[in-house]
Amino acid sequence: MEGGANVLIEAVTSGVPVLGSDIAGNRGMLGADYPGWFAGGDAERLAGLISTAMQEPCYYATLSRCCVERVSLFSPARECAAVRSLVEMTKVSSQ
């Protein structure tokens, strides 16, 4: 699972819809109601989602739309601001 967040962010910011394992970190990035989750290790479900994405344009479009709606969360400026905010909060709480 290490590096999974980077892969997800790179895909979303590149306009590539995601099919991902249903784990807390992924849910936190794309939302619990994201339609592309499968249980970790469930290869049959993953294969079904891949097949659906290939054969049903509406499903693929839904995945794409959901990713586009979240892409701003992963902008470098937003991430930088979040890190700076955490640093500032740490400074205040340690004083």
Q: What is the pLDDT of residue 93?
A: 78
Q: What is the residue extent of each domain of the chain?
A: 4-94
Cβ 53 vs Cβ 16: under 8 Å:
no
- Give the Cβ contact number of residue 37 at 10 Å: 22
- In the chain, the largest separation of any two C-alpha atoms, in whole Å, equals 58
User: Which string of DSSP letters, residue by residue, matches 18-85?
Assistant: --EE--HHHHHHH-TT-TTEE-TT-HHHHHHHHHHHHH-HHHHHHHHHHHHHHGGGG-HHHHHHHHHH
Say whether pLDDT at 16 is over 70.
Answer: yes
Q: Per the confidence metrics, is the pTM higher than 0.85? A: no
**Beta bridge mates, 38:** 21
pLDDT tens figures, 21-79: 999 999 999 999 999 999 999 999 999 999 999 999 999 999 999 999 999 998 888 88
Residue 20 phi/psi, 5-degree rounding, is: -140, 160
